[in-house]
Structure 1
Amino acid sequence: MADSKREIERKYEATPETRLPDLTRAAGVSAVRHRGLMELDAVYHDTEDLRLAADSITLRRRTGGSDEGWHLKFPVSTGIRDEIHAPLNDTLPEDLAGLIRSRVRDSPVIPVVRLRSARDVHHLLDEDGALLAELSVDEVRAERLTDAGRGSTAAWTELEVELADDRDPAVLDAVERGLREAGVLPAAAPSKLARALEETAPEESGHPKDAAPPRDAGDHVLAYVRRQVTAVVALDPAVRRELPDSVHRMRVATRRLRSAFRTYRRILDRTVTDPLGDELRWLAAELGVDRDREVLDERLRARIDALPGTLVLGPVSARLKVASTARRGGARRRIVSVLDGRRYLDLLDSLDALLADPPLRPGAAAEPVDALPRAVLKDYDRLAARIGRALDQPPGHERDLALHEARKAAKRVRYAGEAARPALGKPARRFSRRMKSVQTVLGDHQDSVMARKALRALAVQAHAAGESAFTWGLLYGQEESAARARERELPDVWARASHPRPRTAWKG
């Protein structure tokens, strides 16, 4: 089973002649202890076209040192990576294979670079002798293993400082000041792999050109679509690792994609995008099983915690926990099976194909300031009609359904405004912010509808088990009251969101 840790480190240029300065002068460092030399042998794996490296992800099998095994590293920010470690064996562990599946799909993962390092290790200690950071001087020899460039080699020396677990990153700042004063400068390459790939690359490979800035309406819509596709792929391993908010963010990216396809039908051919939209709706629904559970559990737990103890009759918290655990286990297994499934991988391939050969319509060549507002305002008119129909309904089931339809329309128009922001600037940003306020009210109302369904089911279960259903009924009443309050609030929120009229707002 793989385990995970947060790696915080900094790399510096060095030569075999580099001498370490006296780092006990760095704030917090009381002693530097030499830990000796070790030999490390790491084979980095990727697809033939280096898809992992393109996203600054490293996958290696390393022998030597105290952490032999497979290591998979995901970038978090500059100098910070999440490292997942699995035991040493001859084949890529399935846990790690799942985490890179959204990137590699069906492409084989092969050895691409071998790095052999002679590592000279020093421990930086505090006044109590506890480890602050590990400093190593690495003499690296790299060899290219792919067909393109096979046998090419490179060699260099670098210095690396890695923060110990649960230590203040200010230690790294203090050490860096000491190194800079001694003339040791930060490394140009972000990782050993990145440097190895660059220095052993075939001469004819060149470097990828930066994408041209968006010009027409089609460019802007495709740039937005590309950002959402990238988000789906990047969030896949986070969802598998159950990182906070990852399911929600991935679901939002799928919804933004689907909304863009529906809003910008004059720009992208719907004969291509409609089938993709159907598949995105399926994926969002599958992700929603887990996300909706999270929202519901948080909402009900907060309601129960806010009650005076005298109003909590029976094993209320225990029953909610049992129901939540059962839902969580089933949702987790289901979502992983979806991400491992053929249907999901085919969807990712189809999205890549759309970006590689966009199905542009004549409207794609229009000026963004003309085409994008027209599309967004059409969605706005649709939302206005749905809100009007919902508010015309008497309170009850039919109004709940109508408000749910308005909520979906509010999301769509908000996402449409977000897609237009790079082209239209502040007016689009203000418009999206106002639509989000409407979506928030409608979303909270829908959460109340779903909470009442869950509370009724819990009350039935409690009654059947001979427990008091009083507390569940009380919570049901609170949710019903909260929903009615949101319904009363909606007209004012909508009036504020609609002023000034969007057609005027687009003009700045």
Structure 2
Amino acid sequence: MADSKREIERKYEADPATRLPDLTRVAGVHSVAHPGAVELDAVYYDTVDLRLAADSLTLRRRTGGADAGWHLKFPVAAGIRDELREPLSDTLPLPFARLLRSRVRDRALVPVVRLVSARDVHHLLDADGALLAEVAVDRVRAERLTGGGATAAWTEIEAELADGGDPAFLDAVEHRLRKAGIRPSAALSKAARALAGTGPERSTGPADEPRPRTAGDHVLAYVRHQAEAIVALDPAVRRDLPDSVHRMRVATRRLRSALRTYRKVLDRDATGPVGDELKWLAAELGRERDQEVLDARLRARLDGLPRTLVLGPARGRLRIWSVARHDDFRRRTLAVLDGARYLALLEGLDALLAEPPLLPAASRAPGRVLPRAVLREYRRLAARVGHALELPPGRDRDMALHEARKAAKRARYAAEAARPALGRPAARFAARMKAVQSLLGDHQDSVVAREALRTLAVQAQAAGEPSFTWGVLYGREEAAASAGERELPKVWRRASGAQLRAALGG
């Protein structure tokens, strides 16, 4: 994987006559070193329709300076980006191509703008000589490499926090700059400013879209949001960032659920094939995510045992078993994201949103259409919970509770999709459904954990190790599942209040 660093910086407007104030007067700064000036030559790449710029991503090949090479930047928050680096080469590094695949698809990446910057660098140092921040005055010349070769030029000041520094330090730097009459820049990045200054006006995307009014507007806004989340989370999954697989899987499930729940708005004959592919993707992501959940649960259960109940190399066996399974699922997840089927799914989502298969109900007021869909999911859940509670404890009940859990999730997602239109009643309904889902989810996690514990016990016994600890954990999981089953009727009564249903129109 490419080298990565968290870039925290702020940009300020300047002109050729601008001079930096005395930065030793910034709190914490003992001295300012002046390494001198350097010339940076960077070519920025994008698709012809500027897909990367639309999502505030930047891809460049830069020469000059201490960090010459390929740079790929992902936005994290205002003024914060993750910068990935690869060595200088003539072609796009394969790791970067993979990280951009969900956005670029099969489109070519071409040079779109070239920036040549004369950078005057100043290092802000503390009393021990450690770097606090770098402040640079950049004199930039930009040339558009597509569409006529227009040019632009400007001067800006950039203050970048040193690795591991306190972001509050940049507040002190900014205070000093403002006192000198230097104001923050409105540009998000040099690339964004160059594109704006050398090309035609571009749409800023979803912010320009009209406010949803009809049922179809609301459903499509939700579908679009989840589809964009899948695309945006793809690089995070590839980088193995915390919780990324879970979030991408949730977006996939929410999207599929919306297509199924709001079938009176979007034609299921048209959305069905996309829904089937979303089900496939969620299942593939689920392998790695379920292993993450299982690992965390088993480690916590093992750590919670008194020492006298942990016999043999239980922790070592759990670690080896978990790592082997995780590595296998990790390879499979990456293979899925690199596959043609996944790419076809993303293209299918684009096509669906470009020409949505709206039904007559889509043009009606959301208050007439959305509550009915939410309550239809509620009735499905009620039937499954009732069926599960009628069964005696055992495998059949476990399976029935698992089906009820999936129905609770669909009811929750249906209400969440309707919340922008229906407001507080939908939010309260979603919260009640989440409570049911959480209880049933913990029950299902216990079922899966018991299967894993039995496997670990068999492996331990075959290796001549004590299996006692695995049996103790199995018993505790069994007790936890039983407690959840006893709790379910009370949780369900709270979630199924008639007043709450009436507020949704049921």
The code of the aligned residue for 2:474 comes to: Y
Q: Does 1:361 align with 2:366?
A: no
Give the aligned partner of residue 20 of structure 2. 20
Is contact 1:26-1:174 (8 Å) kept?
A: yes
Q: Which residue of 1 aligns with 2:244?
A: 246
Query: Is residue 260–residue 415 contact of structure 1 (8 Å, CA) maintained in 2?
Result: yes
Matching residue's letter, 2:245: V
- What is the CA deviation profile of residues 41-63 of structure 1, one whole-angstrom value per residue up to 9, with x for unaligned ones? 00000100000000000000000
1:18-57 aligned at under 5 Å gives the runs: 18-57=18-57
The one of 258, 261, 264 aligned to 1:260: 258
Cα contact 1:427–1:507 (8 A) shared by 2: no
Aligned counterparts of 1:466 and 1:128: Cα–Cα separation in 2 = 57
Q: Is the 8 A contact 1:386 1:406 kept in 2?
A: yes
Deviation sequence 1:386-423 (CA, Å, 0-9, x none): 00000000000000000000000000000000000000
The offset of 1:215, in angstroms, is 0.9
Q: CA deviation at 1:500?
A: 4.0
Q: Does 1:189 align with 2:187?
A: yes
Cα offset, 1:332, TM superposition: 1.0
Question: Aligned pair count?
Answer: 505
Q: Residues 173-252 of structure 1: matches in 2 within 5 Å?
A: 173-202=171-200, 210-252=208-250
Whether the aligned pair in 2 keeps the contact of 1:37 and 1:118 (CA below 8 Å) is: yes
Change (3 A) 1:207 1:408: closer
1:274 counterpart (241, 264, 272): 272
Asked if 1 retains the 8 angstrom alpha-carbon contact of 2:265 and 2:359, the reply is yes
Q: Does 1:100 align with 2:82?
A: no
SS at match of 1:214: coil
Task: Output the amino acid matched with 1:4.
Answer: S
The residue that corresponds to 2:111 in the other structure is: 111
Q: For 1:170 and 1:395, how far apart are their aligned partners in 2? A: 56
Alignment map for 1:293-304 (pairs within 5 Å): 293-304=291-302
Q: CA deviation at 1:505?
A: 2.4
Q: Which residue of 2 aligns with 1:136?
A: 136
Instruction: Check 1:192–1:342 CA distance in 2 against 1; reply closer, same or farther (3 A cut).
Output: same
Q: Residue 124 of structure 2 contacts residue 133 of structure 2 at CA under 8 Å; is this kept in 1?
A: yes
CA displacement at 1:507 relative to structure 2: 6.0
Rounded Cα–Cα distance in structure 1 between residues aligned with 2:154 and 2:329:
48
Q: Distance in 2 between matches of 1:392 and 1:84?
A: 55
| CA distance in 2: counterparts of 1:360 and 1:20, whole angstroms | 58
Relative distance call for 1:127 and 1:431 in structure 2 (3 A) is: same
Q: Deviations over 1:433-488 (max 9, x none)?
A: 01000000000000000000001111111111111111111111110110010000
SS in 2 for 1:45: strand
Pairwise CA distance, 1:501: 3.7
Identity %: 71
Report the Cα distance in structure 1 between the residues aligned to 2:279 and 2:204, rounded to whole angstroms: 37
Judge conservation of contact 2:8–2:161 (CA < 8 Å) in 1: yes
In the alignment, what sits opposite 2:67?
A: 67
Give the equivalent residue in structure 2 for 1:86.
Answer: 86
Q: Which amino acid aligns with 2:345?
A: L
TM-score of the two chains, using structure 1 as the length reference: 0.98
Q: Could you tell me which amino acid in structure 2 is paired with residue 419 of structure 1?
A: A
CA drift at 1:503: 2.8
Q: CA 1:279 to 1:40, structure 2 compared with 1: closer, same or farther past 3 Å?
A: same
**2:71–2:83 Cα contact (<8 Å) kept:** yes
Contact 2:54–2:204 (8 Å) recurs in 1: no
Shift >4 Å, 4+ stretches:
205-209
Question: 1:442 maps to which residue?
Answer: 440
CA RMSD of aligned residues (A): 1.2
State how far apart, in whole Å, the 2-side matches of 1:246 and 1:442 are.
Answer: 23
What is the SS of the residue equivalent to 2:4? strand
In 2: Cα distance, 1:412 partner to 1:391 partner? 20
Distance, in Å, in 2 between the alignment partners of 1:129 and 1:215 is 59
Change beyond 3 A, Cα 1:164–1:295: same
Q: Distance in 2 between matches of 1:364 and 1:506?
A: 18
Aligned mates of 1:207, 1:129 — CA distance in 2: 43
**Letter in structure 2 aligned against 1:62:** R
Query: In structure 1, how many angstroms separate the alpha carbons of the residues matched to 2:354 and 2:144?
Result: 29
Partner of 2:472: 474
Question: Displacement of 1:384 after TM fit?
Answer: 0.3
Partner-residue secondary structure (3-state), 1:118: strand
Match of 2:332 among 331, 334, 347: 334
The residue number in structure 1 matching 2:456 is 458
Question: Residues 27 and 174 of structure 1 are in contact (CA less than 8 Å); yes or no, is this contact kept in structure 2?
Answer: yes
Work out the CA distance in 2 between the residues paired with 1:454 and 1:144: 58
Give, in whole Å, the separation in 2 of the partners of 1:448 and 1:374.
Answer: 34
**1:307-345 Cα shifts (integer Å, max 9, x gaps):** 111111111001101111101111111111100100000
Contact 2:372 2:505 in 1 (8 A): no
Name the aligned partner's letter for residue 3 of structure 1. Answer: D
SS of alignment partner, residue 120 of structure 1: strand
Per-residue CA deviations over 1:115-161 (Å, capped at 9, x if unaligned) read 00000000001111110000000000000112x2x311000000000
The 5 Å alignment of 1:486-505 reads: 486-505=484-503
Contact 2:2 2:86 in 1 (8 A): yes
Render the CA deviation track for 1:182-232: whole Å, top value 9, x for unaligned.
0100011110000000000047x6776811111100000000000000100
The aligned residue for residue 285 of structure 1 is 283
AA aligned opposite 2:136: S
- Secondary structure of 2:38's counterpart equals strand
Aligned amino acid, residue 296 of structure 2? E
Q: Secondary structure at the match of 1:56?
A: coil
Q: Distance in 1 between matches of 2:383 and 2:505?
A: 23
Give the counterpart of 1:151 among 146, 149, 152.
149
Cα distance in structure 1, aligned partners of 2:377 and 2:383: 10
Which residue in 2 is equivalent to 1:427?
425
1:8 paired residue number: 8
**Cα distance in structure 1, aligned partners of 2:329 and 2:109:** 29
Any gaps of 5 or more consecutive residues in structure 1?
A: none
Shift of 1:27: 1.1
Per the alignment, residue 351 of structure 1 pairs with 349
